[in-house]
Amino acid sequence: MEKPNQPAGSLPPVAAEADSSEVAVPRNWRGITRPLTTLVIILIGWEVIGRYVLTNPLFFAPLSEVAEAAVQLWSTGELQKHIWVSFSELMQGTFAAIVFGIAAGVGIGISQRVRDYTEIYITALYATPLVAVTPLLILWLGIGVFSKAAVVFLTAVFPILINTAAGIRSTDPLLIEVARSFCGTRSQIITKVMLPAAVPFMLTGIRLGIGRGIVGVVVGELFGARAGLGYLIFTSGQTFEVPALFVGILALAAMGVGLTFAAQLVERYALRWRRSTEMDGS
Amino acid sequence: MTELKTGVRPATVSVEHLEMVFTARGRRQKALEDINLTIAPGEFFVIVGPSGCGKTTLLRILQGLAHPTGGRALIGDREVTGPGIDRGFVFQQDALYPWRNVTRNVAFGLELQGITKADAAKRTQEMIELVGLTGFETYYPHELSGGMRQRVNLARALAIAPAILLMDEPFAALDALTRESMQRELLRIAAAAGTTIVFITHQIDEAILLGDRVAVFSPRPGRVREIISIDLPRPRPESVKQSPEFQAYVGHISALIG
Ligand SMILES: Nc1ncnc2c1ncn2[C@@H]1O[C@H](COP(=O)(O)OP(=O)(O)O)[C@@H](O)[C@H]1O
Ligand SMILES: [Mg+2]
């Protein structure tokens, strides 16, 4: 991806040497400077549009006012509270989904019988948008953290479970046979061969689960809550406080980005035994 | 060089009227028919035969990974009913655990036996030295060449100190130079430990270079066509391949395989 930024008529630089001698910025800095440039352009665009194009304060707000609202919400401690509530709902639900999803996924992956009893229902539940049961969960569990954690659990558990089961089942039969030839017991084959073989699948499931879980948190808080970023967005919308509404959205975006980044770090560490396919970025 | 001590007393490997019939897609297919073999303790026994004649199947039966439809396989006077740590298996394909580094792959068999970490570490390091992989302990399989991976395969099988080593075309995928050095190392290791080796290959010169005896199998269904004693003095250098005796064996076996 190294062609559009040459002046017309000039030859492409000869691979890496020409590249790094001509530009003082080292290669890995570009991974930061380039997306940062995009961000700056978007933020300036936002400010300009908010000031001169969408000037009705009921519909939009320039970035500076959003920033002001953020500072204000932060100074009263309100923003931190909303972030913390949403974050803990997400973490509790995701943690439960990981524990249950992996355990059930292993059970389903290793046992044909369990599969016969459950598989089509799990597939059906995976395909159902389970956020739809949120009102019911709020009726059952109240408007506190618990009901939202339950929504997160329900939305996040199926991708984790299904991916774990798929990973267990796709274990290379040769690797199982090696363990058998060394007199491995069934439980050793599960823990030392199938589980590690399924780790990449589990991580994919967890990443998908977290993505769905964030949606679950927001939807849950829209339906009924006392705090949380979804609650902040909902109440700000009802009172036409557009800057505060944007603060909520931006905080959610930041949470999503942060968790994705953390997931990538975990993945990179857990899968360090894999042939690295895309290590450099230019 | 490290001395290899085998944990289990060497024993005769024998096969009596062995037969294997597979049913695949509704069709019965005989892979092995009336195989009879007696392999002496410490013997280097080679099996050659065309692809699909049941060599892998026979080895899997000896390891206890497959059960024959007729006849039986014995280690000493005990019938083979399942895998045992008296036997080590070197698989034909690249059968390393990609998420384990060299050390942890070599230690795999010991780990399954519940051998303590400290004991396993010492033994594992010895095996890594034995196959010449010192310095690569922390490498993952994808960071190794085919020859190095096959060394790890071998070290893993040797780590449990098997009395019998079953090897399924272990060097087939290697280039000629690497194969030669692996052959030499295997002979050295086997001689030092007194290990019985059942070695499968489809390369006639490899069979003659390594074997005390060579069994030639017929095409499907696999049967023992002839067992040939290789009366060439050991050690057998590469140059032995040019000798008229060696060439006579090659001619004889080639004619049998046809
Ligand atoms: N699990 C199996 N199910 C059905 N057929 C098999 C199975 N394993 C091997 N065979 C058949 O048995 C024959 C011998 O196979 P194999 O032992 O792998 O031969 P070789 O190792 O000599 O090339 C082949 O025709 C193969 O298709
Ligand atoms: Mg084979």
pLDDT tens for chain A, residues 1 to 282: 333 443 333 344 333 333 444 455 666 788 889 999 999 999 999 999 999 998 888 889 999 999 999 999 999 999 999 999 999 999 999 999 999 999 999 999 999 999 999 999 999 999 888 888 999 999 999 998 999 999 999 999 999 999 999 999 999 999 999 999 999 999 999 999 999 999 999 999 999 999 999 999 999 999 888 999 999 999 999 999 999 999 999 999 999 999 989 998 999 999 988 876 544 433
Mutate to test the pocket of ligand 1, among B20, B48, B57, B90 (most ligand atoms within 8 A of CB): B57
Identify the pLDDT of residue A13.
38
Identify the pLDDT of residue A26.
66
Contact at CB, A175 and B160, closer than 8 angstroms: no
Q: Nearest 5°: CA angle at B205, between B202 and B206?
A: 65
Give the residue numbers spanning the domain of B97: 13-31+40-257
pLDDT band, very low/low/confident/very high, at B211 (cuts 50, 70, 90): very high
Look up the CATH number of the domain holding residue B23.
Answer: 3.40.50.300
Residues of A in contact with B84 (CB under 8 A): 183
Ligand 1: does its nearest atom lie under 6 Å from the Cβ of B229? Answer: no
Using CA atoms, how far residue A38 sits from A43, A44, A251, A257, in Å, is: 9, 10, 19, 16
Identify the pLDDT of residue B7.
53
Residue B8 lies in a domain: no
**Reported ipTM:** 0.90
Residue B23 lies in a domain: yes
Helix (H) or strand (E) holding B253: helix B244-257
Q: Are B123 and B110 in contact (CB under 8 A)?
A: yes
pLDDT band, very low/low/confident/very high, at B93 (cuts 50, 70, 90): confident
Candidates A180, A182, A274; nearest CB to B108: A182
Task: Compute how many other C-beta atoms are within 10 angstroms of the C-beta atom of residue B60.
Answer: 21
Nearest CA-CA partner of A131 in A106, A158, A152: A152
pLDDT band, very low/low/confident/very high, at B13 (cuts 50, 70, 90): very high
Section B181-198 average pLDDT: 88
Residue B7 lies in a domain: no
Strands B87-90 and B27-39: unpaired
**R_g over Cα of chain A:** 24
- Residue B45 touches partner A, C-beta closer than 8 Å: no
Instruction: Report the C-alpha gap between B213 and B233 in whole angstroms.
Output: 13
Structure tokens at B166: 């079953």
**Which phi and psi (to 5°) does residue A170 adopt?**
-90, 10
Residues of B in contact with A185 (CB under 8 A): 112
Instruction: Report the C-alpha gap between A41 and B82 in whole angstroms.
Output: 68
Write the DSSP assignment of chain A as a string of letters: ---TTSPTTPPPP-HHHHHHHH-SS-HHHHHHHHHHHHHHHHHHHHHHIIIIIS--TTT---HHHHHHHHHHHHHTTHHHHHHHHHHHHHHHHHHHHHHHHHHHHHHHHH-HHHHHHHHHHHHHHHHS-GGGGHHHHHHHH-SSHHHHHHHHHHHHHHHHHHHHHHHHHTS-HHHHHHHHHTT--HHHHIIIIIHHHHHHHHHHHHHHHHHHHHHHHHHHHHHS-SSSHHHHHHHHHHTT-HHHHHHHHHHHHHHHHHHHHHHHHHHHHHTTTSPPS-----
Helix (H) or strand (E) holding B203: none
Instruction: Report the C-alpha gap between B9 and B86 in whole angstroms.
Output: 8
Condensed to tens digits (0 to 9), the pLDDT of residues B31-60 reads: 999 999 999 999 999 999 998 899 999 999
Q: Are A148 and A221 in contact (CB under 8 A)?
A: yes
- Residue B162 touches partner A, C-beta closer than 8 Å: no
Write the DSSP assignment of B16-33 as a string of letters: EEEEEEEEETTEEEEEEE
Ligand 1: does its nearest atom lie under 6 Å from the Cβ of B93? Answer: no
DSSP annotation of B222 reads B
- Residue B249 touches partner A, C-beta closer than 8 Å: no
Residue B213 lies in a domain: yes
Cα-Cα-Cα-Cα dihedral sign, residues B49, B55, B58, B63 = positive
Residue A180, classified by CB atoms within 10 Å of its CB into exposed (0-12), middle (13-18) or buried (19+), is buried
pLDDT band, very low/low/confident/very high, at B9 (cuts 50, 70, 90): low
Task: Compute how many other C-beta atoms are within 10 angstroms of the C-beta atom of residue A264.
Answer: 12
Write the DSSP assignment of B141-163 as a string of letters: GGGS-HHHHHHHHHHHHHHT--S
pLDDT of B218 above 50: yes
Helix (H) or strand (E) holding B204: helix B204-210
| Sequence-ordered list of residues with C-beta below 8 angstroms from that of A249, at least 6 positions apart, any chain | A233
Residue whose structure tokens are 């800057």: A243
| CB half-sphere exposure, B230, CA atoms < 13 A | 30
Q: How far is B227 from chain A (nearest CA, A)?
A: 28
- Mind listing the domains of chain A with CATH numbers? 80-281 (1.10.3720.10)
Contact at CB, A183 and B84, closer than 8 angstroms: yes
Cα-Cα-Cα-Cα dihedral sign, residues B155, B159, B165, B166 = negative
Using CA atoms, how far residue B205 sits from A136, A154, A248, B242, B256, in Å, is: 75, 63, 75, 11, 14
Residue B3 lies in a domain: no
Identify the pLDDT of residue B2.
41
Domain count, chain B: 1
Residue B211 lies in a domain: yes
Instruction: Report the C-alpha gap between B145 and B96 in whole angstroms.
Output: 13
Nearest CA-CA partner of B126 in B258, B252, B4, B253: B4
Residue B2 lies in a domain: no
